[in-house]
Amino acid sequence: MNYISLFSSSGVGCYGFKQEEYECVATSELISRRLDVQKANNKVKNTSGYILGDISSNDKKEELYNVIDEYKENSNHEEIDVVIFTAPCQGMSVANHKKNNGTIEKNSLVVEALEIVDKIQPTFFIAENVRSFMNTTCIDHNHEKKIKEAFHDWLDKDYHYREKIINFKDYGGNSSRTRTLVIGVKKGKYDESTLEKIFPKKERAKTLKEVIGHLPPLTKMGEISKNDIYHNFKPYREDMRNWIKDLNEGESAFDNINIKQRPHRIINGELVQNVNKNGDKYKRQEWNKVAPCIHTRNDIISSQNTVHPVDDRVFSIRELMLLMNIPESFKWTNDYEFKELNNLTIEQKKIFLKKNEINIRQSIGESIPTVIVRKIAKNIKDIVKEDKIEKESKENNQTIQFAF
């Protein structure tokens, strides 16, 4: 089976399709360093399928359509099986406190994806975004409307589709992440009842301890685990360690009795306390709870829910990968194999992390847990296989009846 990915960042979620042995026809991404990660994982069958740039522009859309036409001509596939799109959600996220009028235009990238789906006519489509996704305002060719209205206007004629707001932690994800999933299927090929079979099934949520508790502690600023370059203690300003070092699980640095241990700045020689806008900043996490939602700024202790339950640091890259169900086989670079990375000197490792760590961390924070996409991909594959078997059985029965 095959698929196309739009707004795919570093391809963390889409790796679930690769695990289920789908062919990627094309993938689009605006930022070159993210697309480089996809290339490191040999995501696309033909290199022309790596589309770098603004997919809302006519020339990039034309590039996409040409790649699809070429694929159909040179393969046994007459159609695209799945399109998955995860348009940027900065304008929709409740974590974004700096919304402005420009965010409506950014939300309108969803409309670009809907237009592409309407043009390509895949058998299935998957959309993933924040909780408020479908009720967010967008611009659809100069008309302001809710995104759910745009879905109706573009796809209702040809598709059955269903939206669900789910927390991925209850469906196999290793961290809390409440998102909207919209899944559609082509009318005339499958009926509406098929949709429920595509959504992932519920599972018991895992605790933070169950997911990352087996990893060795990191207690020294800048420490890198000998056997895993991605299990590292990301350095931060040394004096800030005093703010979190005495915290128990579930406590924030703002809870410290000693005012000098609360987050602060020194202005003109005077201590000025930071404002505690969120109750989840400088907060030590708890082993026996489900891991928090992983954000893009998972690299700083002042961000939301980033402090390790015991160590005085943010979660390591390896811990983040486990929390977002990213398998060890996923590659972040084409420069080295994982074994080669671990054989580098300490200084070489630090240089590598300085160059790549922020891109890796941000990519993790904006992704879909790989396991969620893999479950959906497997469910689709099973549905197609089951349908094929059923059709072949009917044809065989008709042949037998005709023979008699």
| CATH code: domain of residue 134 | 3.40.50.150
**Residue 182 located in a structural domain:** yes
Residue pair 179/165 in contact by the 8 Å Cβ criterion: yes
How many CA atoms does the CB half-sphere of 393 hold within 13 Å?
6
Tokens of 237: 């300003």
Phi, psi (deg, nearest 5) at residue 311: -70, 155
**Residue 399 located in a structural domain:** no
Q: What is the pTM of this model?
A: 0.92
Phi, psi (deg, nearest 5) at residue 148: -65, -30
324-363 CB burial, b ≥16 within 10 A, e <16? bbbeeebbbbeebebeebbeeeeeebbebbeebbebbbbb
Q: Does one domain contain both 213 and 192?
A: no
For residues 15 and 240, what is the distance between their CA atoms, to the nearest angstrom?
Answer: 37
Which amino acid belongs to residue 316? S
For residues 89 and 177, what is the distance between their CA atoms, to the nearest angstrom?
Answer: 14
Q: Does one domain contain both 215 and 193?
A: no
**Residue 351 located in a structural domain:** yes
| CATH code: domain of residue 221 | 3.90.120
Q: Does one domain contain both 358 and 376?
A: no
Domain count for the chain, please give it. Answer: 2
Tokens of 212: 């990352």
What domain range is 262 assigned to?
208-365
SS3 6: strand
Residue pair 134/145 in contact by the 8 Å Cβ criterion: no
Q: Does one domain contain both 186 and 331?
A: no
Tokens of 175: 């961290």
Q: Give, for all 404 residues of the chain, the pLDDT tens digit.
A: 999 999 999 999 999 999 999 999 999 999 999 999 999 999 998 999 999 999 999 999 999 999 999 999 998 888 999 999 998 865 544 444 344 454 555 668 999 999 999 999 999 999 999 999 999 988 888 889 999 999 999 999 999 999 999 999 999 999 999 999 999 999 999 999 999 999 999 999 999 999 999 999 999 999 999 999 999 999 999 999 999 999 999 999 999 999 999 999 999 989 999 988 777 899 999 999 999 999 999 999 999 999 999 999 999 999 999 999 999 999 999 989 999 999 999 999 999 999 999 999 999 999 999 999 999 999 999 999 998 887 777 666 665 665 55
Q: Does one domain contain both 271 and 335?
A: yes
Count of C-beta atoms within a 10 Å radius of residue 225: 17
